[in-house]
Structure 1
């Protein structure tokens, strides 16, 4: 209410998220983003008027009741209405492939290539209030950069180098070399007697022993603290 915080509101249905915008305008606070927003296309003009962004799943629909009316054209319709759109995922697996999700914004509706790329780079940075630091390549920014083997919208593309604040955190060439060293180390460890299978020079297997598992019936009264 003091204007010191942006609201990032999770939701699916248009009625609940539209009511939130109306509530924000009534009480004078600002919604930064509507998260998920599977039905945001239904009230895109109201979102644009409020100045909120929307962070969406690009092509998840009809997988549960709240997503029954969702459409892969959501990103396009929001973009066309002038809304700042970003693409996200709740899945660690899908999160690694947001470059391909951004490409789907071009397929479903025809979002221009640069605007589709912004949906996973600059737009989310702006929504989080850090667009002056990251999200694009520019002077005095943090240099959070991925160098791809080819166009990032290609299903055959893979990261060659990843940098965070200018520091290299991943180098594919170095990673491939390291894989060879780890494979060699594993091979050497497997040759040790302790790691050999029984009958091939290794130690005899250990005989399992019974583990006593206590239960409440074995606890003496004196072992129970009196908390009364």
Structure 2
């Protein structure tokens, strides 16, 4: 894809030949929605459902207009035919994105992908990688650091990527943070379906003013 992976724009490498564009709030919201629609299709419009199993920011590709496409199905598995069931499989995936119940038991469901999606949504909000051993104690694991702040209206702004300052309303931040918090719940049963995530994001994306699709050169 022309603009590479989402990861390249969230965490640009200094000194690279092609200077990536810093994504603005509107673009990040749209990417979140389009990625959610991709997972929704895999989970709810294919029978049996397809579980991606390695959903992460580097597997979201961006076209010339920064529209998102879910990619890399090398680890994908067919899910259970029955609602509420699971498949047992060897634990694979990328550190920081793997759902806790899958890591502990090898039980894989569509809700495992929902957790991974929640981590990506956190990346879009914070501009932080899922696991960063260089950060101070208590801040190295993104979900652990962000979750208590996402559920506190007074602290939620603390998690936001400084590059987006002034681009969003607190109402929008609270709503998107609430979606992310539900997706990364430790208990799989408490996570939403991807259809619910899509339904929640659609009005937020529609409410954005027509504006530039990306922010600025770094």
TM-score by length of 2: 0.25
TM-score by length of 1: 0.24
Looking at secondary structure, tell me which structure has more strand per residue: 1
Looking at secondary structure, tell me which structure has more helix per residue: 2
Asked which structure has the greater CA Rg, the reply is 1
Higher relative contact order structure (alpha carbons within 8 Å, sequence separation ≥ 6) = 2
